[in-house]
Chains A and B, each alone.
Chain A
Amino acid sequence: MKQLKVAIVLLVVGGLLTTAAFFMAFYTAEVQRFGTITVAEQLDTVIPLESVTADGFQYGRPWFSQKIFYFHVPVAEASFLVFGVAAFFAIRFLMTKKREYDTKSRMAMETSLIFVILTMITGMLWTRASWGIWWEWEPRLTTYFIMTLLMIAYFVLRNSIEDEERRATYGAVFAIIAVIDAPISFFITRLIPSSHPVVFQSGMASSNLVPFIVAQVGMLMVGYAIYTMRMGEEILSERVEAVKEALED
């Protein structure tokens, strides 16, 4: 169970890194500029930027809505990446017809779905704080929502097929078609006007970039750990099934 040990180490390290990034985001990072608008200009006016309490104490407003950037973006990019991995294993499966690739593809898809759900939740919190609404049919949000539906459809498809080989093949075929939406969703904010911020267009100050990269690396580690742990579990349960069958005979 060497892999499980690696997974646990990665989970701990990834957790520490994302937590560190969280603190860095609050204590060392400057205010992030999105394109031409600063966050201050984008924020709703419910809480003014500089607030004064009743007894005259002046305090700076915590940049809650902006700080979610250090969680939302790493999670979103991890979701695209892991979805790509799932499609890669799907292609490998169709090429080799080896069952392990099918399992890998499915596990990667599960991991990606976790990230997608996290992205959706954090994204909605941010749009509520920044745009004043929970949801908008805006190109990035829409294509990402479609991607979520495609992933759910992948599992619906798999669950409705009993024959193992057919399930694996159909799952792989659908994963490959579905992944076409991922680059569309990723690049759409760069192609057509969208109110979703594009991060790496105008560059970032290093005080922003460092926590972002730390969070991204940490998130990928967590993702790999989830994937490896699920793989270990799957291998064990397959072994249990094999033993059960052997005992029945």
Chain B
Amino acid sequence: MAAGTQARPSARSLSWRQFKAILRKDIVMELRTKEMVTSMGLYSLLTMVVYQIALSQSGSAFDPRQIAAGLLWLAFLFTSMLGLNRSLVHEQDQGCLEALLLAPVDRPVIFFAKAIGNLVFLLIVEVLTIPVFAFLFLQGGGYGGAWWMIPTVLTAGSIGIAGVGTLLATMSVNTNGKDFVLTVLMVPLMYPLLLAAVSATTAAVLGGDGSVDQFWAGMGGVAGYDVIMLLAAYALYEFVIGA
């Protein structure tokens, strides 16, 4: 069997190579320009400054850990919209999307490659943001849950954001009000995911009795959302990219 696949690449390994090629293109472009991570990272840092203003009157008795998860996911949502928009605007401006469509590549391959690329950048920014956030707002608060909780919910939530976001950004770059349209489409669609992710993340941050149950309940919501919405996005991407 191994010899057969080496001699003539099967359809699956061809798709796999196409997937890798598109993903590598995005990553190489990012490594050369460092545009996405810089702009997204800076944006999320600025969000922290705005949070400081929002919390400035809360007083010393207020425990920021109660709302830390909400603030974090908010920053990730807005940062991801910035990144998604840029990622697809690049494709559009330089005619890359058209070239991809001309090439004999399956449409779902394009979707998954773009989504994974966006997921990677989003995760990098998240990993950079969390220590900064903890340093600025959570000093001395302590972390309640098990160590693996935050990475788990972060990955699952980001998969949903990147997957649905890639579909929506592909639509919004072809409209007149690019980033505005993306915001209008994305925020309501993201609502269930963010609600579940914030619930799970809060359980992880605070810890204590019942936090594991709450974490898994939230994770169930995130996972359900990911499955349903990614299937829908996967099925509909072909129509979007072809229009």
Contacts and interface: CB of A to CB of B under 8 A. Distances in A.
B240 A180 contact: no
B185 A169 contact: no
Interface string B3-36: 0000000000000000000000000000000000
B208 interface: no
A174 B171 contact: yes
Interface stretch (A104-112, A152-160, A206-214): A152-160
Interface stretch (B86-94, B124-132, B143-151, B188-196): B188-196
A184 interface: yes
Contact of A184 (B172, B176, B192, B239): B192
A161 B236 contact: no
A177 B189 contact: yes
Interface in A166-189: 166, 169-170, 172-174, 176-178, 180-181, 184
B174 A172 contact: no
Contacts of B177: 160
Main secondary structure of the interface of B (DSSP, over half): helix
Interface residues of A, number: 25
A177 B229 contact: yes
What are the 4 A-B residue pairs with the smallest beta carbon separation, nearest first? Answer: A169-B243, A160-B175, A149-B188, A160-B176
27 contacts: A94-B236, A94-B239, A146-B191, A150-B188, A152-B184, A153-B188, A156-B181, A156-B184, A157-B184, A160-B176, A160-B177, A160-B181, A166-B243, A169-B240, A169-B242, A169-B243, A170-B174, A172-B239, A173-B236, A173-B240, A174-B185, A176-B236, A177-B164, A177-B167, A177-B189, A180-B228, A180-B232
Interface of B: 164, 167, 171-172, 174-177, 181, 184-185, 187-189, 191-192, 228-229, 232-233, 236, 239-240, 242-243
